[in-house]
C-alpha cells in the first residue's frame, strides 16, 4: 500500500500511462491496433526495442531523434508522458470523491484521469472523441461506482442505476435540447454531439451534479483560454475549437476536490446565498 502511494512510484506509473496514451493518440487516426505491432518509428518503420522505449528518459537519451534513421521525434511525446505522470502523482492529494477509502479513490481517479487525457488528445488532433473510448469509459465508470457505492455507501443496485445511468441519459437528452436551442439562436452549431456523449461518460463517473458543474466550469475555463489563444494568434478567431479538453480539465478538478467544493466556489463568486 505504501509503495503504491509513493509519489515516485506514481510518477513512474503515470509516465507509463502517458506512453500508452501516446500510442493510442498516434494509432487512432490510422486505425492501427494499440496491441500489435509493438512500437515502431513512423519514418523508417523499425521496431523500437524496450530499452529505447522508456518514457521520458529514452527521448532525452536519444536527444529527440530515432536511433536508426535519425528523424526527429516530436517533443510532444515526452511532454504528454510528463504531464500524465504529474497528474497521476497529484491524485494522491485528492479530497475523497469516489470513495472514503483513499487507495480505492486513487485507483478510480487515476483511471478517470487517463480517460480524460485520452479524450483530450484525440479531440485536439481530430476534433472528435472516439465512440469506443466513450463507451468503454461509461461502462467502467458505472462498474466502478456500482462497486464503491455498494460497499462504502450501502446503495442498492437500482439506486446506482438511477443515479449513474438513468440520470445520465436524462442529462444527455436535456443537454442536446439546450444545444439545439442555442444553435438556433446563434445560427451555428454550439456543441457537437461528441461533447454531449462525453458529458454522459463524465456523468457515469461523477453523477449528474458532477457533469453539470463540469459543463459550467468548462465554459469559464474554455472562454478564458480561448480568448488568450486568439489574442496570441495561436488559433484563428473563427476557427473550430475542440471543447473536449476544457470538459476534461473541469472534470479533473471536480474529481480532485469534489462537486460540492466547486459549487461553493461558484456560489461565493456570485455571492449567492
Nearest to 141 by CA among 163, 112, 102: 112
> What is the spatial distance between Cα 149 and Cα 256, in angstroms, rounded to a whole number?
18
Average pLDDT taken over every residue of the chain:
89
Measured in whole angstroms, the distance separating CA 111 from the mean position of its chain's CA atoms is 9
Confidence (pLDDT) at 190: 76
pLDDT for 85-94, tens place per residue?
999 999 998 8
Alpha helices in 53-156 (DSSP H): 57-61, 76-90, 102-126, 131-152
Domain spans of the chain, in order of start: 1-82, 94-269
State how far the Cα of 134 lies from the Cα of 79, in Å rounded to an integer.
24
How far is residue 44's CA from residue 55's CA, in Å, rounded to a whole number?
20
pLDDT score of 2 more than 70 = no
Determine contact, residues 258/95, Cβ cutoff 8 Å: yes
Q: Are 182 and 196 in contact (CB under 8 A)?
A: no
Lowest mean pLDDT of 120-129, 190-199, 264-273, name the range. Answer: 264-273
Query: Residue 13: pLDDT above 90?
Result: yes
Has residue 96 got a pLDDT over 80? no
pTM of the model: 0.91
State residue 100's pLDDT score: 85
Is residue 136 within 8 Å of residue 144, measured between CB atoms? Answer: no
- Phi/psi region, residue 241 (left: phi>0; alpha: psi -120 to 50; beta: rest), is beta
Number of H helices, E strands in the chain: 10, 0
Distances, alpha carbon 73 to alpha carbons 56, 58, 149, 242, in Å: 12, 11, 44, 25
* 272: confidence class by pLDDT, cuts 50, 70, 90: low
Q: Which residues share a beta bridge with 72?
A: 65
Q: Is the pLDDT of residue 273 over 70?
A: no
Amino acid at each position: 500500500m505504501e509503495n503504491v502511494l509513493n509519489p515516485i512510484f506514481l510518477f513512474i506509473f503515470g509516465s507509463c500511462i502517458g506512453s500508452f496514451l501516446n500510442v493510442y493518440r498516434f494509432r487512432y487516426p490510422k486505425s492501427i491496433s494499440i496491441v500489435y505491432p509493438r512500437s515502431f518509428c513512423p519514418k523508417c518503420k523499425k521496431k523500437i526495442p524496450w530499452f529505447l522505449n522508456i518514457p521520458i528518459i529514452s527521448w532525452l537519451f536519444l536527444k529527440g531523434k530515432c536511433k536508426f534513421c535519425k528523424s526527429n521525434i516530436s517533443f510532444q511525446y515526452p511532454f504528454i508522458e510528463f504531464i500524465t505522470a504529474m497528474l497521476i502523482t497529484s491524485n494522491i492529494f485528492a479530497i475523497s470523491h469516489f470513495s472514503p477509502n483513499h487507495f480505492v479513490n486513487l485507483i478510480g481517479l487515476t483511471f478517470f484521469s487517463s480517460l480524460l487525457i485520452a479524450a483530450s488528445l484525440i479531440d485536439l488532433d481530430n476534433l472528435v472523441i472516439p465512440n469506443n473510448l466513450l463507451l468503454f469509459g461509461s461502462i467502467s465508470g458505472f462498474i466502478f461506482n456500482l462497486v464503491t457505492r455498494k460497499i462504502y455507501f450501502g446503495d442498492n443496485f437500482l439506486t446506482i442505476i438511477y443515479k449513474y445511468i438513468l440520470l445520465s441519459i436524462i442529462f444527455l437528452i436535456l443537454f442536446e435540447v439546450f444545444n439545439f436551442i442555442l444553435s438556433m439562436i446563434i445560427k451555428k452549431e454550439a456543441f457537437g454531439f461528441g461533447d454531449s456523449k462525453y458529458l454522459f461518460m463524465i456523468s457515469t463517473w461523477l453523477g449528474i451534479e458532477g457533469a453539470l458543474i463540469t459543463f459550467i466550469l468548462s465554459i469559464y475555463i474554455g472562454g478564458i483560454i480561448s480568448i488568450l489563444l486568439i489574442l496570441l494568434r495561436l488559433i484563428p478567431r473563427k476557427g473550430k475549437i475542440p471543447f473536449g479538453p476544457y470538459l476534461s480539465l473541469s472534470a479533473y478538478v471536480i474529481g480532485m476536490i469534489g462537486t460540492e467544493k466547486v459549487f461553493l466556489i461558484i456560489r461565493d463568486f456570485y455571492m449567492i446565498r
